[in-house]
């Protein structure tokens, strides 16, 4: 399937302008506002593969840089700035993709900033949140404190997590998801790490693991009201 990629600029009110990318297949069914992780920008190979893979599944993506990444600063933005960036991205995606089902979330830090923004005030027209490796805690410091805000979210949530994810001990994540009830879905990627990379001894490739992630995300998106 062919798809079109457009480089854009995203204006974040009272903060500034950042780069953005719209990847759109012919006749998309939905648009996923895809925020990057803390250590790599929207053009990282993982982000590119997700956007391309979803395009082949009929889903558009709107990627954007957080301001700190645009300015190449070492430390991530404050939550206030990050939330503003997410809100601007959602509004721009809705404008560029009128009538399409909107989903928001992203990789690690980007997904968590999206969920925080949603918990404070619902993101307009967003039907669900999808997390590509939710960062539940710091490496080797299992905790569920970072998930407390999720209880304030009313829309469906999809947690795509590798079983080897050092930032989401499943012993802590599973009770979180169970407590959230039917609005939350956990999909475990066997042998995957925080970026779903699989061990060679698992017998499958990283691309095969990512295919599982994207197939699951596409199916879940289609099922949203």
Distance from first CA to last CA of the chain, Å, rounded? Answer: 26
Structure tokens at 202: 């698992």
Share of the chain above pLDDT 90, in %: 96
SS3 label, residue 220? helix
- Buried-exposed string 184-193: b where 16+ CB fall within 10 A, e elsewhere: bbbeebebbb
Question: What is the signed CA dihedral for 32, 36, 37, 38, rounded to 10 degrees?
Answer: -140
Mapping DSSP onto H, E and C, the string for 12-64 reads ECCCEEEEEEEEECCCCCEEEEEECCCCCCCCCHHHHHHHHHHHHCCEEEEEE
- Tell me the mean pLDDT in the region 45-66: 98
Nearby residues of 63 by Cβ (< 8 Å), 6 or more positions away: 20, 21, 22, 23, 34, 35, 36, 42, 47, 51
pLDDT tier, 132 (very low <50, low <70, confident <90, very high otherwise): very high
Q: Determine the pLDDT at residue 204.
A: 87
Average pLDDT, the chain: 97
Structure tokens at 189: 């990627």
SS3 label, residue 166? coil
Q: Determine the pLDDT at residue 74.
A: 85
Q: What is the CATH number of the domain that holds 64?
A: 3.40.50.1820
- Buried-exposed string 158-174: b where 16+ CB fall within 10 A, e elsewhere: bbbbbebbebbbbebbe
The pTM for the full model equals 0.96
- Tell me the mean pLDDT in the region 35-42: 97
* Tally of structural domains, the chain: 1
**Whole-angstrom distance, CA of residue 21 vs CA of residue 209:** 25
What are residue 177's phi and psi, to 5 degrees? -65, -40
In order of 145, 173, 174, the CA distances from 142 in angstroms are: 9, 10, 13
Are 224 and 127 spatial neighbours (Cβ–Cβ below 8 Å)? yes
- Buried-exposed string 31-69: b where 16+ CB fall within 10 A, e elsewhere: bbbbbbbbebbbebebbeebbbbbbebbbbbbbbbbbbb
Q: Determine the pLDDT at residue 55.
A: 98
Look up the domain containing 195 and give its range: 4-223
């Amino acid at each position: 399937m062919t798809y079109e990629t457009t480089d854009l600029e995203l204006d974040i009110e009272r903060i500034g302008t950042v780069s953005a990318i719209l990847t759109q297949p012919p006749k998309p069914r939905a648009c996923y506002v895809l925020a990057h992780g803390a250590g790599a920008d929207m053009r990282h190979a993982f982000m590119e593969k997700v956007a391309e893979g979803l395009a082949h599944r009929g889903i558009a993506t709107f990627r954007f840089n957080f301001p700190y990444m645009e300015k190449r600063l070492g430390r991530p933005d404050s939550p206030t700035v990050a939330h503003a960036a997410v809100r601007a991205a959602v509004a721009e995606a809705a404008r560029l993709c009128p009538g399409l089902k909107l989903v928001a979330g992203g990789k690690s830090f980007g997904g968590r900033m999206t969920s925080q923004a949603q918990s404070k005030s619902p993101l307009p027209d967003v039907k669900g949140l999808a997390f590509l490796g939710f960062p539940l805690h710091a490496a080797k410091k299992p905790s569920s404190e970072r998930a407390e805000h999720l209880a304030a979210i009313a829309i469906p949530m999809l947690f795509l997590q590798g079983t080897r994810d050092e930032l989401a001990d499943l012993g802590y994540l599973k009770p979180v998801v169970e407590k959230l009830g039917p609005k939350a879905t956990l999909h475990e990627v066997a042998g995957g790490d925080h970026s779903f990379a699989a061990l060679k001894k698992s017998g499958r490739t990283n691309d095969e693991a990512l295919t599982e992630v994207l197939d699951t995300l596409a199916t879940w998106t289609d099922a949203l009201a």
